[in-house]
Chains A and B, each alone.
Chain A
Amino acid sequence: MTITITDIAAKHVSSHLEKRGSGIGLRLGVKTTGCSGLGYVIEFADKIESDDKVFEQKGIKLIVSPKSYVYLKGTELDFGKEGLNEGFKFNNPNVKDKCGCGESFNV
């Protein structure tokens, strides 16, 4: 199973990367947080570790560590707006329930 990215998210990622001036792609991961378990992490990646999984899509390298991949496989990275705010969203088929704050999820 792969990890995918929507067109609009890809557009925003490339403009962020361009603005930053360096970086080879985007690292996606999970962390423990919030009230019900795991939360997502997105950060710029400057290197790829030997055991990382790399998914190249629409010109963007999505880099995931094997540990995180267990929780993220099949996920689509999307971009959306709420009110005047905008940001990235994970459409993750593995999620069973989300907590109220929307920060964390269980699988």
Chain B
Amino acid sequence: MDILKKNYFELFGLKVSTQLDLKDLDEKFTLLQKQFHPDKYSNSSDTEKRIALQISSYLNDGYITLREFVTRVEYILKIKDFNTDESKTLFDEEFLEEQIDLNESIEQLKINKGGNDKVNVLTLDLTKKMELLVVSINDYLSRTEYDMVWKNLAKYKFYRNHLIELEPMIK
């Protein structure tokens, strides 16, 4: 099937980019599902049913992948044939120390409930760091330095996980 060979950006008729207009993606997704969802083929031949199931599954997976920044960048690396094996590790002493410190302060905040101001300060700080990482990820991508893209994305994921941890503490 030609459709199943398209990458997800091609599938939705979008430019390969870390920055997507999510509304546009939503519209494309809906338009295509309206055409290919198995419900539209319940009276068709087994061949059509099978193809529709494959395409509809592919659309769902593509939509899920492109909707989130992290999975979107990972997918771009994948279509650039960059190996994103999970066993790869970050060799960055400074970053490691920062992570250890961050883990400690978040544990502290968890114990000392009510440290509202500190939670807010930390959240803001992490958000800013992530914004900077997005800028450098885009920059490295445009220079096709995929290894640096991957490293910055790994850092981005660390900060994102911290943010998720902090979220329930925000009043």
Instruction: Consider the complex of A and B and state whether they touch directly, i.e. have CB atoms less than 8 Å apart.
Output: no
